[in-house]
Amino acid sequence: MSYTKLEKTFYRLSQLSQASSFLGWDQQVMMPAKGNDSRGQALAELSVIATEIIQSPELEDAFAAAEEEVDLEPWQKINLSKMREKWLKANAVPKALVEAQAIASNQCEYAWRSLRKQNNWKDFEPQLTEIFNLSREHAQALVTGLEKEKTYQNEYEALLDLYDPGTKLTRVDDVFDALKQVIPELLHQVLERQRLQPKPTRQSHSIDKDRQVALSKHIMSLLGFDFDAGRLDEAAHPFSGGSSDDSRITTRYSPDNVLEGLMGIIHETGHARYESGLPKAWRNRPIGQSMGMGVHESQSLFFEMQVGRSEHFIQAISPKLQQYLGRDPAFETDNLLTLYRQVTPGLIRVNADEVTYPLHVILRYEIERDIILGRMEVKDIPERWNEAMLSYLGLDTRGNFTDGPMQDIHWPSGAIGYFPSYTLGALTAAQLFSSLKKDVTDVDDLIGKLEFTPIFNWLEKNIWHNASSLNYDELMTQVTGETLNTEYFIDHLKNRYL
Amino acid sequence: MSYTKLEKTFYRLSQLSQASSFLGWDQQVMMPAKGNDSRGQALAELSVIATEIIQSPELEDAFAAAEEEVDLEPWQKINLSKMREKWLKANAVPKALVEAQAIASNQCEYAWRSLRKQNNWKDFEPQLTEIFNLSREHAQALVTGLEKEKTYQNEYEALLDLYDPGTKLTRVDDVFDALKQVIPELLHQVLERQRLQPKPTRQSHSIDKDRQVALSKHIMSLLGFDFDAGRLDEAAHPFSGGSSDDSRITTRYSPDNVLEGLMGIIHETGHARYESGLPKAWRNRPIGQSMGMGVHESQSLFFEMQVGRSEHFIQAISPKLQQYLGRDPAFETDNLLTLYRQVTPGLIRVNADEVTYPLHVILRYEIERDIILGRMEVKDIPERWNEAMLSYLGLDTRGNFTDGPMQDIHWPSGAIGYFPSYTLGALTAAQLFSSLKKDVTDVDDLIGKLEFTPIFNWLEKNIWHNASSLNYDELMTQVTGETLNTEYFIDHLKNRYL
């Protein structure tokens, strides 16, 4: 009975989280400006209710009793351990610290929006210092609170574990070391090769929004997005949300640069397909949730990088672009391939190509890890940032905070330990795609015919349907025969860009 | 401190209710079909959480202690008594009964949607019987549970009190008796007079949605609707929701009948203005809420019937219609006046004009009251309905259940005791408008110039700003110098229609 009681508690938490997710979507997409304060209050209250539920003292007895229950099915035992982990993480951290973090990150994120525009590192630095201090405290609380359950190598690993449960720091270091050894030389070769190639042509005519919406929806439908179970809307800062049965993707439409947003939509469709492919039988239970940010990103990058930017896909959608948007030399296959595979070392992570992106991530990882572990301070970030950008990408960033260490929302909003997921996701996607090619014949041919069903079935069976019932290493071994191996990603880059 | 604790509890309830309101709006306006089940689960869980909060045993001590607090301000004492009333009402009814009502009304409303289309009273009757039985039980529980606080005349009065707090059955009976004496003869005269007048002309050309939206938004803006604090959207079954800082009005656009929806938008704008005019200092507190369904409806009908269908308003918007929708004889002032003041005894309440509307309400009131008080049974409804429709409006409804006793959502959804509010609202609106004319000079002239600020200021000061700090009789006496008096409404009808 205690197990059932715990399931009810986590069902309630799941419903609260779902309510917050849609209220948050509405806030970004629909809400008029003056609704913001009361929306903030409502979201804050739902969050306090959820915290009180998971910190309720009676849960301790319920967990103790549930551990003794002998008639649990194997999946229920896994679910119990997932509930336990969430409960431990939520209770390891003092309420006062959680509140202090919420206030500090709200303030810092708010200040960041204007300070970034003003290139004002000086006023940003003390606020960011506070964010990192509180995050370090949070990490220390996790290390102490979970010492019987988890053997975190250090505080930073405890933060990683919040975003990507089970990821070890040694894994991250091994992977990033390998990439640091290979990518700079690879980048050099790619740029050399690219110099001899034609430059991509930009779109020549302005395209109204209705046509862009129609094209976007058509491509999403081709990729299996079910518009009876989701929507595509506009948002000033695109994001995705919603729930498994109701995916909410957002984008921005630029009349003069249609191609920029298109890959973003394919990317978000991958996130949405993962969520909607999670098993219905496990809904509203921790075992039924997605595995973590790394695997989530692997699905969006599988859609975007492995499928969306592949030669066969681009060949197949070039006529669609001409059909929906009108004829334009920019929409010819060769130009699309050139454009969507352009490699350019740049200052901004979110604009980075596949080759340079990991270096942006590694830079951020090294800095945030070293601050959490007390090896450097927030005030040292600009210097360290400049050194790394010079060394990794040959770019001088001195004095440019806006497009330097102030460019991302992650740090001011308190999301420390998140960045590695992006690159772990890219590597996972490459490895999964390689396995797909072994399991399903003629993958390129299927993509070229826009016949994705066998590919989606493979993803559903191998990834989506497992939800959180396996850990990451188990999943990768089961699907690809080995744990994460950097070679697949490096081969992918070499094949595509050399 | 106990008072503060109670305020916190009701703040939480208010936030839960706000969250549900926006999730409900999204469900009707934005949500794709397949999201419905999980949305239903989320809304149900929020409702269970709210019930557990207000039924929490510790509130009893908190109320007892708060009553002893001597340093409360007068408004806090009122707020305390409002909180107490909500708490008593929520705790008077056994949890099992609330759940049984939720299930029964869900099922009955769902069945009603198809049974109504099939004109199938036979299968509807047992389900509706169950709804009325549970509602009677609910009423009995209220009478017993609140016997120390409220002296309900009978069970039906306890139900009335849920929708329109403080309304006495004697008030309803007095008002409805007066209307039954006057309206049939008045109706006869109006119809005689109308026979000699020209018939209204229907719109001659089809009008696309964009133009209708632009016109609707323009008229809403004229009426003080702030689009930075609200939205206008489409819904299959129009309704309004949202919160004080974020009103969500919905409508339907018909290309061939633009005029039909327009008064609905003016009506809903009245509801929205009331909510947004409630005092900010009392937000999220029972004292700061709207007074009940009757006063709410008085505000929407003030906007629609007193202002919107007035000669000066129609003269002033006729050129706007021509400007936004294109020239059409239907949009000439004389035709608009004829159309918007057409009186036609009909089967359907929601399509009824101002003169016949009260008879539809009285019919429903008499039936639901008699069933709750055990004077008749659900199976007798069709016969009783037919008798009343014949007697009040001269219409035979035998065998027509679809447009007879199955036309409204109220009964299948369990909203028994709600109907009288519509007519109490219409009477209240007429009486308030009469006082406005005494307090503000040249009201007709202001309306004709579309200069509403003095009118809105009067409403804000006299109605909106009082929120729930007064009871209905206090409010009416303070604003109009007397309690509800049917004469204002009857005079209004005579002036407009004879």
Task: Kindly indicate the confidence band of residue B99, based on its pLDDT and cuts at 50, 70 and 90.
Answer: confident
Percent pLDDT > 70 in chain A is 100
With beta carbons less than 8 A apart as the criterion, state whether B398 and B455 touch. Answer: no
How far, in Å, CA of B147 to CA of B45, rounded? 31
Q: Please, which residues have CB within 8 angstroms of residue A229's CB and are 6 or more apart in sequence? A: A245, A246, A247, A276, B32, B33, B34, B35
pLDDT value of position B106: 86
Q: CB–CB of B446/B222 below 8 Å?
A: no
Q: How far apart are CA A56 and CA A50, in angstroms?
A: 10
What's the pLDDT score for residue A385? 98
When mean pLDDT is compared across A200-204, A466-470, B156-160, the lowest value belongs to: A200-204
pLDDT of residue B1: 66
Q: What is the pLDDT of residue B407?
A: 96
Let me know the angle formed at the C-alpha of A340 by A337 and A343, rounded to the nearest 5 degrees: 110
Partner-chain residue, chosen from A42, A230, A243, that has the shortest CB–CB distance to B19: A42
Any alpha helices (H) in B326-471, and if so which ranges? 333-340, 357-372, 381-393, 420-439, 443-448, 453-462
Res A162: pLDDT: 95
State percent of chain A over pLDDT 90. 93
Closest to A113 measured CA to CA, from A238, A250, A253, A237: A237
What is the total residue count of chain B?
A: 498
Q: What is the pLDDT of residue B260?
A: 85
Which two tokens mark B258?
Answer: 């633009």
pLDDT of residue A279: 97
Q: Are strands A240-243 and A246-251 parallel, antiparallel or unpaired?
A: antiparallel
> Is the pLDDT reported for residue A349 higher than 70?
yes
* Cα–Cα distance for residue pair A313/A262, rounded to 1 Å: 13
pLDDT in tens, B22-39: 999 999 999 999 999 899
pLDDT above 90 covers what percent of chain B? 93
How large is the average pLDDT for residues A254-270?
A: 93
Provide the chain A residues 5-24 that lie in CB contact (below 8 A) with chain B: 11-12, 15-16, 18-19, 22-23
Partners of A240 in the beta sheet?
A249
- CA distance to A103, A179, A186, B21, per residue, from B248 (Å): 30, 51, 55, 10
3-state SS string for B343-355: CCCCCCCCCCCCC
Closest approach of chain B CAs to the CA of A291, in angstroms?
Answer: 21
Average pLDDT over residues B232-252: 93
Residue B149, amino acid: E
B38, A11: Cβ pair inside 8 Å? no
Single-letter residue type at A452 = F
- Nearest-Cα residue of chain A relative to residue B40: A15
Phi/psi of residue B140, nearest 5 degrees: -60, -40
Residues 6+ apart with CB under 8 A from A191: A343, A345
CA distance A366 to B150: 68
At A390, the amino acid letter reads L
Average pLDDT taken over every residue of chain A: 96
- The SS3 call for residue B246 is strand
The ipTM of this complex is 0.94
Query: Are the C-beta atoms of B287 and B468 separated by less than 8 Å?
Result: yes
Q: What is the mean predicted confidence (pLDDT) over B472-478?
A: 97
Q: B228, A12: Cβ pair inside 8 Å?
A: no
Dump pLDDT digits (tens) for A148-193. Answer: 888 899 999 999 999 999 999 999 999 999 999 999 999 999 999 9
The DSSP secondary-structure symbol of A230 reads: E
- Of B16, B35, B228, which has the smallest distance from its Cβ to A229's Cβ? B35
- What does the alpha-carbon distance between residue A437 and residue B332 come to, in Å, rounded to a whole number? 70
Give residue B236's pLDDT band: very low, low, confident or very high (50, 70, 90).
confident
pLDDT for residue A1: 66
pLDDT band at B126 (very low <50, low <70, confident <90, very high): very high
Predicted confidence (pLDDT) at residue A306 exceeds the cutoff of 70 = yes
Q: Strand B230-234 to strand B246-251: parallel, antiparallel, or no bridges (unpaired)?
A: parallel
Single-letter residue type at A386: N
**CB contact burial A221-251 (16+ within 10 A = b; e otherwise):** ebbbbbeebbbbeebeebebbbbbbbbbbbb
With an 8 Å Cβ cutoff, are B229 and A34 in contact? yes
Contacting residues for A498 by C-beta, under 8 A, at least 6 apart: A186, A189, A190, A193
For the domain made up of B164-498, give the CATH fold: Neurolysin; domain 3 (1.10.1370)
Nearest to B90 by CA among B145, B133, B49: B145
Name the 3-class secondary structure at A251: strand
Query: For A156-498, which CATH class?
Result: mainly alpha
Residue of A nearest to B10 (CA): A45
Q: Which residue of B has its CA nearest to A49?
A: B12
pLDDT at B284: 97
For the entire predicted model, the pTM comes to 0.94
- Hey, are the CB atoms on A30 and B30 less than 8 Å from each other? yes
Asked if A222 and A452 count as a contact pair (C-beta separation under 8 A), the reply is yes
Q: Which residues contact A253 (CB under 8 A, 6 or more apart)?
A: A209, A212, A213, A234, A261
Could you tell me if B320 and B498 are in contact, meaning their C-beta atoms sit under 8 angstroms apart? no
- Per-residue model confidence as pLDDT tens digits over A62-82: 999 999 998 999 999 999 999
CB contact under 8 A, A46 and B19: yes
In the structure, what pLDDT confidence band is assigned to residue A338 with cuts at 50, 70 and 90?
Answer: very high
Strands A240-243 and B230-234: unpaired
Spatial separation of the C-alpha atoms in residues A448 and A312, rounded to whole Å: 4
pLDDT digits (tens, 9 = 90+) for B393-428: 999 999 999 999 999 999 999 999 999 999 999 999
Structural domain boundaries in chain A: 2-155, 156-498
B271-314 pLDDT, tens digit per residue, is 999 999 999 999 999 999 999 999 999 999 999 999 999 999 99
Name the residue of chain B whose CA is nearest to A231's CA. Answer: B32
- CA angle A340–A345–A348, rounded 5-degree value: 85
pLDDT in tens, A90-149: 999 998 998 899 889 989 998 998 999 999 999 999 999 999 999 999 999 999 999 988
Supply the mean pLDDT for chain B.
96
- Tens of pLDDT, residue by residue over B359-385, are 999 999 999 999 999 999 999 999 999
Range A277-284 average pLDDT? 97
Q: Select the residue of B30, B49, B246 nearest A35 (Cβ to Cβ).
A: B246
Residue with tokens 């990603």: A489
Q: How far is CA B159 from the centre of its chain?
A: 15
Report chain A residues whose CB lies below 8 A from the CB of B45: 11-12, 15-16
Nearest to A38 among B35, B49, B246 (CB): B246
B237 pLDDT band, cuts 50/70/90, is confident
Phi (first) and psi of residue A422, to 5 degrees = -60, -45
**Which one-letter DSSP state was computed for residue B302?**
I
A 284-323 → B contacts, CB under 8 A: 284
Q: Cα torsion for B29, B35, B37, B39, to the nearest 10°?
A: -60
Contact residues for A326 (Cβ-Cβ < 8 A; gap 6+): A205, A207, A211
